[in-house]
């Protein structure tokens, strides 16, 4: 065989054998980044890969507001709804919505004050005063629509494009498509994910498992305690573990030498090396103590109610800096407010929605400002939203009034990485119930996110069980109107 | 004449409803001829009294007048201007009709194209016309989107019932788009041919083979100029076969006795002992449970407990240990409730067996009962297809299978069988899953009474026929409302054979389905199963895609050998144990994974994937084997067999109840008995190992697990509480068992126990140095267990071995 050396040959010929593996891995990574032919010979699943075309964004931070934030109380201002408080909604609600057995009555005006902001004059309610200062950076999609009247279906739709089948998550597809720029961290990290609905939201499904989202903490633990499982050994001192590692490497080296050249075994030994690096490097990214007091304050860390989400957002920025491709940050607040399940305001919207917003508003604004001041907003795509929005009609479960799930029309917003800033795309009907203008279906959003990353959603396929699968199934079109 | 789409179309995706194939059909199909012209502008009373809006009293007439005005003002002009060019009788006469769709008459609109009705009155979301003009699916009209207010007018029109005065069909387009499948042609595909007997081939190296199986393999190697490497050493062999048959490492005693046995029967003795051990059923039962997508809870948003699923699991393990013939095993799992029995115990066992159909993931969040029934049937059809026949039948839910000869009619013939089976009953019932009370005789009645507290009522999660079995209608494009022709319950036409069973009107047809599958004339059942067994023993199936024998699966590497094995399996009364015994007695099974450099170079050049089996294939241990071994070596394995897995705290209800599942401490039992909470494998913290090491995702039929290699696995082995804790137990045990021995002897003993081999000199030296350094570094916190620095040092050493690549890698 001609040059370049494969990893295998390097191992066989190198005097230091195993020790040079990590080096070989690094070389391959750099070579791949430059698109050199050496990359092919040594390509690994997490090596950076060239996108299909020039990307506008290099990484994604997805701020997931679990439960379905009310768009008609936050970013989708509906004058007609404000006027017709207490009246019937023309056309009523469809059977699928009614069959959940809910008491849906009259239109309910948003009880919050609304204002236009910035040069662009985008609307935001008083619930997001800090984010509102960044309206000129946002691209607000008011015409989202999706599938599923219940959380389970719609949440999976948002994360995987499918409502009930186990399919790879958006983040897994992205890392599958692009690889990673960090040698000591996975390419897809999810910070404090919800465990109530299992791991499907960050599952690689049938993609190779190196593409699964690595969870840092989960919704049951405070963000300050969130960490990577098994990252440290609770029993052994660093000295002892270093000695242990030396012996472990010796054993693996001898095993390798006794066994005929075997790709599986090579992969296994390589993964140990990454684990060693992760163990060494990851704590550094998780530890916020080297941030300035100013930064901590900006994110609202060490203050109620912003401490948790502030930490999550700051961690996200640090991982973004470290080269992680796809970072999801989930906001649920059930541990602080028992009985209030995240953003699912079926009742007492007036009390609970502001609580949610207060917990995330400053941290999100800080993240946007922080990315911007570091010059990272240009190539970082920030996505904000939930699995659906909420109905303009009131729901009466108790005396306190709320709004029901609404997948037919709602809002998500994007910022940074190649999207039109200070722009509103699409619209719902007069009341905010159905998306009517320039409708963006979930598959379209997925297609657009991939597009911004330089990936063609129709070409990003994976062969499984005899078929080629896509994130967007057979649908999806890039929403040209939101591209900068 | 209709065009037949090319068979090699690149992308097809399973449900939901639509796939590229359909879009392709819709867009590209050529037209058929028809005659007639549309009558514009004429209000003709509708003749069809079954239409909900067809009443002719005065009130309705005035209602109709309003609707008519709306139609004439808002809808018709758009249709005429923007649609008729391609979707009208006139277009058809001009040869310009597109998509077999006519929009110039009410029948044309309601019938729609090959994808289903263009308009479903009253149901905006189901109306394809709407999704097309909204540019959700198709983008129509192609020359520019309609204005938002026009689209909204169409929504209104449809919501209000899609009043349409254009009564007479100008012509009706035939819906059936595809040329019928030519089954005679389709049956020529290898997998649909009955297995053929052939005599073992001649080989040049006559001294190598130990059996006919070896002859088949060697002939292929010789044909490409390869030869097998040498035999594996006895340590390696014993480790391999013990893991393969029981999922556990050989004990030092077993190693000693095998090494001391120099007779010709030494190997048989080992194999027979392992096959007879109860651990065999636990190991191979788990393989079957992967295929049966077994879990103890439903998964998804409504993750209710399957609190009786364990009975099915225990049935599988017992059946495999008893070497229940595979045909019988299948019949019981598909239709055990319908089979005759000699005793209440047998009846109970057979009922429990049907848990096979019941333990899958059901979309319980669905509101629509009919959709739920068909979705559950879909899951069961997918199971029967992949697990038993290696076919992806789910494709045919929305359109004829594009790659395999499975028309929609076959899918709905099977759907009728499963829709005639109780699988889900109405909401707010225990777990939403039918529970069948098991029959009790005096003996087992008292047995259950005594254990009622412990195991609950004697219910099984089992299948039963519904009261009035019925056939199902084809659903055009898989859409619930788009009912097509009703097809009689039945099986796959491509595997039809003379004398196959008929389904009586008053039965679901599960019993007949089982008979059909296990008939000697069925081309797939035996092949698929022997291939699964081969996969587990050789690391890769003769058909590498073990769950897909269709056109999109891989072709067999050794088709004649596969047929030979399938026929032998069937003729040997479908005995799994004897099949396994034949395979592990081959010389091929006993190959080394390495050999002389020259052989390796040639092998790598000619057959880099080792498809022809010129050497043994190394594999990472699966998670149960890894975990059970660690526990066994640490003397911590709880070998209790069977019994309930999880209980439920609080009342049963139709909601996301994952958090109320109670799981008994499972931390020391064999992997096969761990509670499998679908989508929450890590719910029990000590079980996060399952996710870390690729436990089979219980939402899929899994004949071949992933064997991924990711850094979180190494982190787990180095740092997890589970491994470090067991390492300490292992160290204690070692120190106890070797009191008075030297460190050197102890190291050797542990290598033998954990890795089934003595250590090399350098490994011993390295271990001794490690022990010394840890003892020196040990501080109070590590010594606090009381045994001092020695235990701490041995714990570190044991853990290092558990974390080593060799421990997790089966050679």
- Find the closest chain B residue to A1 by CA distance: B605
pLDDT the model gives residue B8:
30
Residue B660, φ and ψ in degrees, nearest 5: -100, 5
In order of A279, A314, B220, B623, B714, the CA distances from A232 in angstroms are 7, 22, 51, 22, 12
Residue of higher predicted confidence among B360 and B39 = B360
As a whole number of angstroms, the distance between CA A349 and CA A338 comes to 15
Residues A79, A137 within the same domain: yes
Contacts 24+ apart (CB under 8 A), B451-456: B454/B644, B455/B643, B455/B644, B456/B307, B456/B308, B456/B644, B456/B647
Domain-embedded: residue A366: yes
Helix or strand holding residue A63 (H, E)? strand A59-65
Domain-embedded: residue A7: yes
Place of tokens 């990485």: A417
DSSP A284-306: HHH-GGGS-HHHHHHTTTTSTTT
Residue of higher predicted confidence among B482 and B186 = B186
CB contact under 8 A, B710 and A271: yes
The pLDDT confidence band at residue A433, using thresholds 50, 70 and 90, is very high
Domain-embedded: residue A265: no
Please give the residue range of the domain that contains residue A159. 45-231+289-482
Q: Which of A194, A196, A271 to probe by mutation at the B interface, max B CB count within 10 Å?
A: A271
Helix or strand holding residue B802 (H, E)? helix B788-803
Q: Which of A207, A265, A276 to probe by mutation at the B interface, max B CB count within 10 Å?
A: A265
As a whole number of angstroms, the distance between CA B29 and CA A109 comes to 50
The pLDDT confidence band at residue B12, using thresholds 50, 70 and 90, is very low
Distance in Å, alpha carbon of B350 to nearest chain A alpha carbon = 30
Count: domains in chain A: 2
CB contact under 8 A, A461 and B16: no
**Strands (E) located in A76-165:** 104-107, 114-117, 122-125, 138-145
Q: What percent of chain B has pLDDT over 90?
A: 49
Burial class (CB in 10 A: 0-12, 13-18, 19+), B597: exposed
Residues A10, A107 within the same domain: no
Domain limit, last residue, from A9, A28, A43: A43
Give the residue among A359, A316, A326, A366 at the shortest CA–CA distance from A192: A316
- B709 → closest Cβ in A151, A164, A271: A271
CB contact under 8 A, A228 and B806: no
Distance in Å, alpha carbon of A225 to nearest chain B alpha carbon = 16
Domain-embedded: residue A242: no
Mean pLDDT for the stretch of residues B788-801: 90
Residues A17, A68 within the same domain: no
As a whole number of angstroms, the distance between CA B776 and CA B778 comes to 6
Distance in Å, alpha carbon of A479 to nearest chain B alpha carbon = 12
Domain-embedded: residue A243: no
Which residues in chain B are contacts of A441 at CB distance < 8 A? 136
Residues A325, A405 within the same domain: yes
- ipTM for the assembly: 0.75
- Find the closest chain A residue to B803 by CA distance: A248
- B148 → closest Cβ in A209, A241, A436: A436
Residues A324, A220 within the same domain: yes
Mean pLDDT for the stretch of residues A34-45: 42
Question: Poorest-confidence range of A43-52, A259-268, A340-349?
Answer: A259-268
Distance in Å, alpha carbon of A164 to nearest chain B alpha carbon = 7
- Find the closest chain B residue to A462 by CA distance: B11
Q: How far is CA B497 from the centre of its chain?
A: 26
Half-sphere exposure of B585 (CA within 13 A, CB side): 18
Domain-embedded: residue A57: yes
pLDDT tens for B64-115 read 767 777 887 788 878 888 888 888 888 887 778 887 888 888 878 888 877 7
Distance in Å, alpha carbon of B139 to nearest chain A alpha carbon = 11
CB contact under 8 A, B710 and A236: no
Which residues in chain B are contacts of A229 at CB distance < 8 A? 688, 712, 715-716, 720
pLDDT tens for B683-732 read 666 788 888 888 888 888 999 987 777 778 889 999 999 999 999 999 99
Residues A22, A155 within the same domain: no
The enclosing domain of A58 has a CATH number of 3.40.720.10
Average of per-residue pLDDT values in chain B: 82
Bond into A4 cis (ω within 30): yes
The reply to whether B645 touches chain A by the CB within 8 Å rule is no
DSSP category for residue B297: B
Q: Strand A214-216 relative to strand A440-441: parallel, antiparallel, unpaired?
A: unpaired
Which residues in chain A are contacts of B690 at CB distance < 8 A? none
Read off the tokens for A335: 């541990």
Which residues in chain A are contacts of B697 at CB distance < 8 A? 166, 205
Residues A38, A97 within the same domain: no
As a whole number of angstroms, the distance between CA B563 and CA B195 comes to 5
pLDDT tens for B514-555 read 999 999 999 999 999 999 999 999 999 999 989 999 987 889
The reply to whether B702 touches chain A by the CB within 8 Å rule is no
Q: How far is CA B523 from the centre of its chain?
A: 20
Contacts 24+ apart (CB under 8 A), B70-73: B70/B156, B70/B157, B70/B160, B70/B163, B71/B157, B71/B163, B71/B164, B71/B165, B72/B41
Q: How far is CA B298 from the centre of its chain?
A: 15
User: Is residue B783's pLDDT more than 60?
Assistant: no
Read off the tokens for B744: 């050197």
The pLDDT confidence band at residue B30, using thresholds 50, 70 and 90, is very low
Q: Which of B480, B711, B792, B801 to probe by mutation at the A interface, max A CB count within 10 Å?
A: B711
Residues A64, A31 within the same domain: no
Contacts of residue A299, Cβ cutoff 8 Å, sequence gap at least 6:
A306, A310, A311, A313, A314, A362, A363, A366, A367, A370
CB contact under 8 A, B805 and A261: no
User: Is residue B25's pLDDT more than 50?
Assistant: no
The pLDDT confidence band at residue B62, using thresholds 50, 70 and 90, is low
DSSP A441-481: EHHHHHHHHHHHTT--TTT-EEEETTEEEETTTT-----GG
- B766 → closest Cβ in A164, A198, A247: A247
As a whole number of angstroms, the distance between CA B492 and CA B504 comes to 17
Per the CB < 8 A criterion, the answer to whether B796 and A236 are in contact is: yes
At residue B428's C-alpha, the angle toward residues B425 and B430, to 5°, is 70
pLDDT the model gives residue A153:
83
Q: How far is CA B402 from the centre of its chain?
A: 20
Full 3-state SS string of B123-151: CCCCCHHHHHHCCCCCCCCCCCCCCHHHH
Bridge partners for A190 per DSSP: A215, A328
CB contact under 8 A, A474 and B20: yes
DSSP B584-639: HTSTGGGB-S---HHHHHHHHHH-TT-TT-SSPPPEEPPHHHHHHHHHHHTT--B-
Distance in Å, alpha carbon of B707 to nearest chain A alpha carbon = 9
Residues A98, A210 within the same domain: yes
Residue B56, φ and ψ in degrees, nearest 5: -115, 20
Residue of higher predicted confidence among B399 and A481 = A481
Q: What is the pTM of this model?
A: 0.71
Burial class (CB in 10 A: 0-12, 13-18, 19+), A280: exposed
Which residues in chain B are contacts of A279 at CB distance < 8 A? 715, 718-719
pLDDT the model gives residue B168:
52
Give the residue among A85, A83, A82, A69 at the shortest CA–CA distance from A128: A69
SS3 of B536, please?
helix
Domain-embedded: residue A165: yes
Residues A141, A9 within the same domain: no
Bridge partners for A62 per DSSP: A328, A383
Which residues in chain A are contacts of B367 at CB distance < 8 A? 96, 99-100, 149
Question: Poorest-confidence range of B302-306, B607-611, B656-660?
Answer: B656-660
pLDDT the model gives residue A51:
93
Helix or strand holding residue B662 (H, E)? strand B661-662
| Residue positions counted in chain B | 811
Residue of higher predicted confidence among B482 and B473 = B473
CB contact under 8 A, A152 and B656: yes
Residues A446, A349 within the same domain: yes
SS3 of B483, please?
strand
Torsion of CA B158, B164, B169, B173, to 10 degrees: -10
Q: Strand A423-425 relative to strand A138-145: parallel, antiparallel, unpaired?
A: parallel
User: Is residue B199's pLDDT more than 50?
Assistant: yes
Give the residue among A428, A344, A357, A397 at the shortest CA–CA distance from A151: A344
Size of interface A-B (CB pairs under 8 A): 251
pLDDT the model gives residue A26:
33
Per the CB < 8 A criterion, the answer to whether B530 and B562 are in contact is: yes
Domain-embedded: residue A278: no
- B365 → closest Cβ in A153, A233, A275: A153
Residues A306, A206 within the same domain: yes
The pLDDT confidence band at residue B424, using thresholds 50, 70 and 90, is low
């Amino acid at each position: 065989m001609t040059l370049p050396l494969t990893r295998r040959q390097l191992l066989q010929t190198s005097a230091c054998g195993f020790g040079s593996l990590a080096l070989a891995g690094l070389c391959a990574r750099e070579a791949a980044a430059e698109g050199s032919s050496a990359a092919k010979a040594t390509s690994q699943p997490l090596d950076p890969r060239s996108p299909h075309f020039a990307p506008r964004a290099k990484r994604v931070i997805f701020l997931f507001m679990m439960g379905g934030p009310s768009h008609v109380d936050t970013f989708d201002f509906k004058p007609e709804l404000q006027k017709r408080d207490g009246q019937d909604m023309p056309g009523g609600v469809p059977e699928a919505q009614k069959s959940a057995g809910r008491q849906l009555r009259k239109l309910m005006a948003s009880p919050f004050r609304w204002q236009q902001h910035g040069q662009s004059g985008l609307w935001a309610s008083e619930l997001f005063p800090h984010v509102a200062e960044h309206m000129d950076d946002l691209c607000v999609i008011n015409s989202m629509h999706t599938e599923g009247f219940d959380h389970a279906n719609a949440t999976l739709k948002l994360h995987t494009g499918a409502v009930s089948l186990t399919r790879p998550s958006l983040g897994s597809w992205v890392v599958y498509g692009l690889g990673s720029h960090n040698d000591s961290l996975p390419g897809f990290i999810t910070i404090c994910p919800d465990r109530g609905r299992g791991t499907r939201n960050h599952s690689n499904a049938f993609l190779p498992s190196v593409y699964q989202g690595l969870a840092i903490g989960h919704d049951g633990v405070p963000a300050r305690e969130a960490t990577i499982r098994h990252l440290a050994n609770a029993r052994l001192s660093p000295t002892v573990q270093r000695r242990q590692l030396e012996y472990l490497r010796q054993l693996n080296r001898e095993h390798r030498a006794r066994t005929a050249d075997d790709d599986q075994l090579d992969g296994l030994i390589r993964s140990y090396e990454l684990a060693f690096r992760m163990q060494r490097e990851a704590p550094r990214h998780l530890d916020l103590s080297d941030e300035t007091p100013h930064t901590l304050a900006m994110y609202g860390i060490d203050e109620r109610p912003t401490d948790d989400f502030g930490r999550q957002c700051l961690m996200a920025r640090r991982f973004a800096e470290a080269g992680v491709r796809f970072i999801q940050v989930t906001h649920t607040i059930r541990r602080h407010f028992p009985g209030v399940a995240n953003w699912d305001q079926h009742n007492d919207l007036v009390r609970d929605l502001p609580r949610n917003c207060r917990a995330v508003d400053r941290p999100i604004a800080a993240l946007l400002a922080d990315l911007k001041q570091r010059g990272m907003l240009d190539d970082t795509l920030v996505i904000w939203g939930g699995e659906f929005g909420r109905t303009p009609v009131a729901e009466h479960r108790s005396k306190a009034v709320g709004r029901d799930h609404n997948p037919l029309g709602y809002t998500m917003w994007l910022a940074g990485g190649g999207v039109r800033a200070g722009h509103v795309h699409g619209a719902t009907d007069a009341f905010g119930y159905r998306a009517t203008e320039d409708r963006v279906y979930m598959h379209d959003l997925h297609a657009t996110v991939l597009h911004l990353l330089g990936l063609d959603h129709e070409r990003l396929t994976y062969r499984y069980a005899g078929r080629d699968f896509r994130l967007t199934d057979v649908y999806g079109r890039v929403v040209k109107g939101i591209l900068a | 004449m209709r065009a037949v789409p090319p068979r090699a179309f690149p992308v097809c995706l399973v449900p939901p409803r639509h796939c590229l194939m359909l879009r392709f059909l819709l867009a590209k199909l050529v037209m058929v001829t028809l005659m007639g012209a549309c009558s514009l502008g004429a209000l003709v009373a509708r003749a069809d009294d079954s239409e909900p809006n067809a009443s002719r009293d005065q009130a309705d007439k005035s209602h109709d007048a309003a609707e008519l005005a709306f139609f004439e003002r808002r809808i018709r002009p758009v249709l005429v201007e923007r649609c008729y060019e391609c979707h009208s009788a006139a277009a058809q006469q001009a040869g310009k009709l597109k998509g077999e769709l006519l929009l110039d008459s009410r029948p044309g609109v309601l019938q729609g194209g090959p994808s289903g009705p263009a308009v479903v009155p009253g149901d905006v979301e189901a109306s394809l016309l709407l999704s097309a003009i909204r540019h959700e699916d198709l983008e129509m009209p192609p020359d520019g989107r309609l204005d938002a207010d026009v689209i909204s007018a169409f929504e209104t029109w449809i919501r209000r019932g899609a009043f349409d005065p254009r009564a007479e069909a100008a012509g009706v387009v035939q819906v059936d788009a595809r040329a019928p499948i030519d089954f005679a042609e389709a049956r020529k595909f290898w997998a649909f041919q009955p297995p053929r007997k052939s005599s073992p081939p001649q080989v040049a190296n006559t001294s190598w083979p130990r059996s006919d199986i070896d002859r088949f393999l060697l002939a292929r190697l010789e044909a490409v100029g390869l030869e097998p490497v040498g035999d594996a050493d006895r340590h390696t062999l014993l480790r391999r076969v013990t893991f393969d048959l029981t999922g556990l490492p050989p004990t030092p005693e077993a190693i000693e006795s095998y090494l001391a046995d120099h007779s010709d029967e030494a190997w048989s003795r080992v194999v027979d002992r392992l096959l007879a051990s109860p651990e065999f059923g636990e190991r191979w039962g788990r393989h079957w449970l992967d295929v049966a997508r077994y879990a103890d809870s439903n998964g998804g948003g409504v993750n209710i407990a399957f609190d009786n699923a364990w009975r099915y699991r225990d049935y599988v393990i017992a059946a495999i240990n008893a070497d229940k013939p595979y045909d019988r095993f299948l019949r019981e799992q598909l239709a055990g409730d319908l089979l005759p029995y000699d005793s209440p115990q047998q009846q109970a066992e057979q009922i429990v067996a049907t848990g096979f159909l019941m333990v899958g993931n059901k979309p319980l969040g669905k509101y629509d009962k009919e959709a739920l029934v068909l979705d559950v049937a879909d899951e069961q059809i997918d199971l029967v297809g992949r697990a038993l026949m290696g076919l992806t039948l789910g494709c045919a839910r929305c359109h004829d299978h594009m790659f395999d000869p499975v028309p929609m009619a076959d899918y709905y013939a099977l759907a009728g069988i499963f829709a005639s089976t109780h699988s889900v009953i109405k909401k707010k019932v225990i777990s939403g899953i039918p529970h069948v009370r098991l029959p009790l005789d005096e003996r087992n009645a008292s047995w259950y009474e005594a254990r009622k507290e412990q195991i609950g009522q004697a219910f099984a999660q089992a299948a039963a026929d519904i009261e009035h079995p019925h056939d199902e209608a084809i659903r055009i494009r898989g859409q619930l409302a788009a009912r097509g022709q009703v097809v009689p319950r039945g099986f796959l036409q491509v595997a039809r054979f003379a004398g196959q069973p008929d389904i009586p009107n008053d039965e679901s047809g599960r019993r007949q389905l089982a008979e059909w599958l296990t008939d000697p004339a069925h081309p797939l059942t035996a092949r698929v199963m022997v291939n699964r067994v081969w996969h587990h023993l050789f690391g890769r199936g003769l058909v590498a895609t073990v769950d897909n024998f269709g056109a999109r699966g891989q072709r067999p590497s050794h088709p004649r050998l596969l047929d030979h094995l399938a026929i032998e399996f069937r003729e040997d009364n479908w005995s799994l144990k004897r099949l396994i015994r034949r395979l592990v007695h081959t010389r091929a099974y006993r190959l080394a994974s390495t050999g002389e450099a020259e052989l390796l170079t040639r092998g790598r050049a000619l057959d880099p994937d080792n498809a022809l089996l010129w050497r043994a294939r190394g594999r990472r241990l699966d998670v149960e084997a890894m975990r059970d071994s660690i526990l066994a070596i640490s003397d911590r394995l709880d070998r209790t067999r069977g019994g309930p897995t999880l209980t439920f705290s609080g009342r049963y209800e139709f909601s996301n109840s994952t958090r109320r599942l109670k799981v008994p401490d499972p931390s020391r039992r064999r992997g096969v008995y761990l509670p499998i909470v679908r989508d929450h494998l890590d719910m029990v913290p000590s079980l996060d190992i399952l996710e870390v090491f690729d436990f089979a995702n219980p939402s899929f039929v899994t004949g071949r697990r992933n064997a991924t290699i990711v850094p979180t696995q190494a982190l787990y082995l180095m740092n997890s509480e589970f491994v470090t804790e067991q390492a300490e137990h292992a160290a204690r045990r070692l120190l106890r068992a070797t009191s008075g021995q030297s460190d050197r002897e102890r190291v050797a003993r542990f290598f033998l126990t954990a890795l089934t081999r003595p250590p090399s000199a350098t490994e011993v030296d390295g271990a001794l140095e490690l022990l010394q350094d840890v003892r020196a570094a040990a501080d109070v916190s590590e010594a606090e267990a009381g045994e001092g620095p020695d235990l701490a040092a041995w714990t570190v050493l044991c853990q290092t071995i558990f974390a080593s690549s060799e421990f997790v890698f089966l050679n």
